[in-house]
Chain A
C-alpha cells in the first residue's frame, strides 16, 4: 500500500489524477479473473510510476500527452438501445466493400449489430470482456506478450480495457473476405473507451483485417485502442487501420504485432480524423524470414495533430521490414513520423528500410520526421529517407497546360502522392474505397 501511494504521488495533472480515480472506481467491475486483475494492477502500476508521457520522454517528444490531455473523460458505460441505434450507420467508408462487419460501440462489442453468420471455417470471433471474465486461457496466453514493457499507452489500455474482440484464425485457414472491426463512439457526451483486441492468425493461416474508428464531430471524447496481433509461422495478414475520428477526439492506438518465421504482414494506417492521433505500430520479428510492409497515409487539415510511431524490432535473422509513410498537410496541421529500427545481434541478414514523405499544402503546416537506427548485427542492410515539400510547380503547370484547372491539377497530384502508399493494399475494393475517401477529403478542402 505504501509503495502504491508513493507511485501515485507522481501523478499530478488533473488527467492523471482522474485516470487513477477511474481505475480505483472501475476496478471491481472491470472484467477479469484474478489473473486478469493482477495484469491490470501491474499495468496501472507502470502508468502510475511514469505518469502521462511528456516532451522529455523521447518516444513522446512531439506528442506531449501531459499537455494535450487536459482531463480524462469518464469511462464509457455499456451502450443502451439509443446509443446502439446511433451506431447503425457506422463503417460507411467501406460501404461498397464486401466485408464481415463486427461492431464495437463505445468500447463494447455488440454482437446483435455484428455479422457473425456463416463464419469461414477456422474463424472464431468472441468478446474480450467475456474472455477476460472467464479467464480464457487462449487470451491469457497471448495478451500483452508482444507489448513492450513501459509503453504508457499500452499500460493504460491494459489497466482499463473493457471489451473488444478475440479473433482466431486457425492453422491453415483462409479468411479472404475482410473482417472489419468497426469501432464507433456514439452519443454527445465526451467519454473515454479502452478497447483491446486480440487477433491470432495461426501457422499458415491467411486473413484480411480492417479496424476503423469514428465518432461524433466536435466532441472531445477519448479512445485508447490496442491490438495484440500474433502471426504464426508462414501466416499472411493484410491489415488496414482507418482513423476517421470526430474533430475533437483524442485517439491513441497501438498495434503490437508478433511476426513468426516466414510470416508476412502488410499494414496500412489511413488517417483523416481526430484532433490528436497517436498511432503506434510495434513490430517484433520472432522467427527467421519474416516480412512486414508498414505503410501510412495521413490527410490532415485545420489544427489536427497525427503522430505515427513505428518500431521494428528485428530479433530474428533474414527478416525484411519496409516502411512508407505519406502525409498531406493543410492549414496548421502537424504530422509526426517516428521510426525506430532495432536489429539485435542475432538478426543477421536483416533488410530494414523506412521512408517518409510529407506534402505541405500551406505555409503553416508542419511535418516532423525522426528516424532511429539501432543496429547490433554486422551483416544487415538498413536505410531511411525523408522528404518534405510543397506540390511540384512544374508538374502542376504541365497538367494545367493540358487544360486541367489548378485545383483539379493539385487533386490529381495529391491523389497520386497518397496513392503510392495505398497501392500496397492487396484487396481491390479496399484500395478503391481509400482512394475514394482521399478524393472526398480533397473535395472538402474547398
Chain B
C-alpha cells in the first residue's frame, strides 16, 4: 500500500533562509501522526508547504498526495483533492458571512471534483447539525468569518470547517495553542469523530497535552528542519518529561 502522504527529502527556504533540510515523512491512511518539536524547528513551515502557501521556496524534494505530485498545485486544488489545514491563527474576514464562506468552500471543492453543488438549505442544515454535534453556538454562524471570535471560537470554527469539508488528510497546526481545556476537547472531539480507516491526520503540536485527547499512532520529533526521531505514542510522554533540549543539541 502506498502512503497517502509522502514527503521526500524536502528542502524549503523562506526569504533566503533555509528552514527545512531534507525532511522525510510518510503517512498512511487511517493513521494519526503527531509532529512535535521545539519552536523554530520548522513545524509551521511544514504545514504551510503542505497546504500550498505562496512565499515558501521548495529548493529540493517532493510531496506526493495519493501518489500525485502536489508541489505545483495551488492551495485550492490541494484542498479539493482532500487536504485540509487547520490554521494556528485562523484569519478574520470582515464582510464575509460564515455561511457564505462555508458554501463557497464546499461548493468550490465539489465542483472541482465533478460533484453536484449543494443547495443553500441543504448546506445550512448540514452546518447546523455539525455545529450542534460540536457544541458550537449557532449565533457564531451568523457572524462574519472569525470576526470578534475568541481564540477558542476560532479553533472551534476550524473544526467545524474540517468536519464539513471531510478531508482525506487533515493537518492541524498547533491547534492547541492558547486553548482552554473545553475548546481543546471540542477540537479533539472533532478529530476523533472524523477518524476512519480512509482518513489520516498530521497533528502538529508543541505540547503533549493535546495527545491525551487525540491519541497518535506515530510521533515524530521535528528539529532544525528534519525529522530527528520517530516512535510510538510513548515518545510523546518521554518528550513531556525530558523536554526538547537534547534535540536542539543533537541537530546543532
Contact = CB atoms under 8 A, between A and B. Distances in A.
Interface in A385-419: 393-395, 397-406, 408-409, 412-413, 415-417, 419
B79 A403 contact: yes
B52 A403 contact: no
Contact of A397 (B54, B100, B112, B161): B54
Contacts of A419: 95
Contacts of B76: 400-406, 409
Nearest to B94: A416
Contacts of A402: 76, 79, 101, 104-105, 108-109, 161, 165
Contacts of B74: 400, 405-406
A405 B108 CA distance: 7
A413 B93 contact: yes
A420 interface: yes
A193 B72 CA distance: 56
B95 A420 contact: yes
B96 interface: yes
B1 interface: no
Given A402-B165, A403-B80, A394 B105 contact: no
B66 to A, nearest CB: 16
Interface stretch (B83-91, B175-183, B217-225): B83-91
For B90, B105, B109, B165, the residue with the greatest tally of chain A CB atoms inside 10 Å of its CB is B105
Contact of A398 (B93, B94, B100, B112): B93
Contacts of B54: 393, 397
B93 A401 contact: no
A398 B108 CA distance: 14
Contact of A408 (B84, B87, B91, B104): B104
A355 B229 CA distance: 54
Contacts of B52: 400-401
A392 to B, nearest CB: 8
A406 B84 CA distance: 17
Interface in B43-76: 51-54, 74-76
Q: Is the interface of A mostly helix, strand, loop or mixed?
A: helix
B85 A401 contact: yes
Given A403-B76, A404-B76, A408-B108, A398 B90 contact: yes
Instruction: Pick from A395, A400, A402, A420 the residue with the most CB of B within 10 Å.
Output: A402
Interface string A405-442: 11011001101110110000000000000000000000
Contacts of A398: 87, 90-91, 93
B85 A412 contact: no
Interface residues of B, number: 30
B60 to A, nearest CB: 23
Size category of the A interface is: 20 to 34
Contacts of B165: 402-403
A413 B106 CA distance: 17
A1 B51 CA distance: 78
Which of B54, B76, B90 is packed against the most chain A CB atoms within 10 Å? B76
A404 B90 CA distance: 16
A412 B96 contact: yes
Nearest to B144: A416
A419 B147 CA distance: 15
Interface in B88-145: 90-91, 93-96, 100-101, 104-106, 108-109, 112, 144
A409 B74 CA distance: 13
A409 B54 CA distance: 15
A435 to B, nearest CB: 11
A413 B87 CA distance: 19
B160 to A, nearest CB: 12
B96 A397 contact: no
A401 B90 CA distance: 11
A377 to B, nearest CB: 34
A395 B93 contact: yes
Contacts of A395: 91, 93
Nearest to A412: B96
A415 B112 CA distance: 23
A401 B108 contact: no
B16 to A, nearest CB: 19
Contacts of A404: 76, 104-105, 108
Interface string A368-394: 000000000000000000000000011
A398 B106 CA distance: 14
A412 B103 CA distance: 12
Nearest to B53: A397
Given A393-B54, A397-B54, A397-B75, A403 B93 contact: no
A400 B91 contact: no
A164 B84 CA distance: 58
A200 to B, nearest CB: 36
A417 B94 CA distance: 8
A403 B96 contact: no
Nearest to A420: B95
A419 B85 CA distance: 28
Contact of B75 (A401, A408, A415, A420): A401
A401 B51 contact: yes
Interface in B179-211: none
Nearest to A392: B91
B104 A412 contact: yes
Contacts of B79: 400-403
Nearest to A416: B95
A394 B85 CA distance: 14
A400 B104 contact: no
B9 to A, nearest CB: 24
Interface in A73-93: none
Interface of B: 51-54, 74-76, 78-80, 84-85, 87, 90-91, 93-96, 100-101, 104-106, 108-109, 112, 144, 161, 165
15 contacts: A397-B53, A397-B75, A399-B101, A399-B104, A400-B74, A401-B52, A401-B87, A402-B105, A402-B161, A403-B80, A403-B106, A404-B104, A412-B93, A412-B101, A413-B93
Which 3 pairs across A and B sit closest by C-beta, in order of nearness? A416-B95, A403-B79, A403-B109
